[in-house]
Amino acid sequence: MPEKTIASFSIRKLSIMDEKGHVDEKLLPRLSHDTILKMYKSMVLGRLLDPKLLAMQRQGRISTYIEARGQEACQVGPIFALKKSDMIFPAFRETIAMITRGVPIENVLLYYGGDERGNKIPRRYAFFPVSIPVGSQSTHAVGYAYALKLHKKPNVSLTYFGDGATSEGECMEAMNFAGVWKTPTIFLCQNNQYAISTKHNQQTAAETYAQKAIAFGFEGIQVDGNDIFAVYKAVALAAKKARAGEGPTLIECFTYRLCDHTTSDDAKKYRDPKEVQEWEKKDPITRLRLFMERHKIWDKIKEGKLRKICEKEIDAAIKRWEKIPHPDISDMFTHTYASMPTELQEQLEEISHD
């Protein structure tokens, strides 16, 4: 019996705007200038929030903080492409996505200040809490989307995760069920090239992360993750497909983490500074600014004003956060177990007597 090919695949890469802000007009999504300016503001707000919180961590005012410099397009693009009622399931690096959704910066400060109330995100933001165990949010996103399907709701779920999460069984299990049940789920993999110090070629022998979707029976696409128009378009198309009952999509955003993994990391120990410099040239914010300048909707004066507005917003949120009374000390016992083990109960009683 001669062999025959029973499956073959190819992976497309979507790129619309280059490093100088030039765009392929045929591919450019139809967005008003107002929307583009809002996208830009969200990216700048995120970029300015990072150094503030980093400084606060160094001052001991908050605990470990997770920056996202360089990943602003991957985080902001999807929020603009989805409906406000579509549910977002973040990992731990998605602070910029979170504040773009409208979640108050105080929530971020509470959370990183060790106060669990920060993770209680009001339902109206349709944004799940930070998920520290790598990949664990992906099954939640699929379960949620399956429920949407059963209830015939027109919404979708989107889960953010990193390249490292694709080595977690849970992430692959989530994709498998999403494929089998054809759930309205968007898997948004931010391939920032590293999982802490583990480089992409130690993470997988596959040429792309996007192609992992093929094994689960659905579409995978790679996009330039530093190009907000490409990210926006890929998510908008995936959402349209999901709402039409055509199932999930895996979107690999090819990007780079310009910062350390967290405030506990020193990326200089495992990355060549030349590599970082090369990626700085691909900065997602610079290229959108160049695009806006070319279209005469932006200039240096507007840039200066925007930066001041963002700084003010951040400072005001920090002031509001400083006024929030600390939680009761017993609070640290309340969010882990449904029924508390005896030794923790004893400890709780002990502090209650102090």
Out of 137, 155, 183, 192, point to the residue binding ligand TPP (CB under 6 A): 192
Binding of residue 132 to ligand TPP (CB under 6 A): yes
Strand ranges in 69-203 using DSSP code E only, listed in sequence order: 87-89, 157-162, 185-191, 194-195, 198-199
* Cβ–Cβ < 8 Å for 257, 91: no
Q: Helix, strand, or coil here: 354?
A: coil
**Shortest gap between Cβ of 182 and ligand TPP (angstroms)?**
25
Segment 254 to 293, residues that bind ligand TPP, using CB under 6 A:
257, 261
CA distance 166 to 189: 8
Closer to ligand TPP by Cβ: residue 190 or 249: 190
Closer to ligand TPP by Cβ: residue 261 or 287: 261
- Mark the segment that binds ligand TPP (CB under 6 A) among 28-36, 127-135, 307-315, 317-325: 127-135
Token couple for 312: 């003010």
Binding of residue 174 to ligand TPP (CB under 6 A): no
Distances (CA, A) of 150 to 144, 147, 183, 288: 10, 5, 10, 40
Binding of residue 140 to ligand TPP (CB under 6 A): no
Q: Give ∠ CA 123-91-215 in degrees, rounded to 5.
A: 115
Question: Could you say which DSSP state residue 10 is in?
Answer: -
Inter-axis angle of helices 284-294 and 33-58, to 10 degrees?
150
Does the annotation count 261 as an active-site position? yes
**Shortest gap between Cβ of 161 and ligand TPP (angstroms)?**
6
- Mark the segment that binds ligand TPP (CB under 6 A) among 34-42, 159-167, 219-227, 286-294: 159-167
**Shortest gap between Cβ of 136 and ligand TPP (angstroms)?**
7
Cβ neighbors of 62 (< 8 A, separation 6 or more) are 53, 56, 109, 112, 113, 114
Q: Count of residues binding ligand TPP (CB under 6 A)? A: 15
**Shortest gap between Cβ of 20 and ligand TPP (angstroms)?**
27
Residue tagged active-site, from 140, 257, 271, 287:
257
- Residue nearest ligand TPP by beta-carbon distance: 162
Segment 78 to 107, residues that bind ligand TPP, using CB under 6 A:
93
Return the active site residues.
Answer: 257, 261, 270
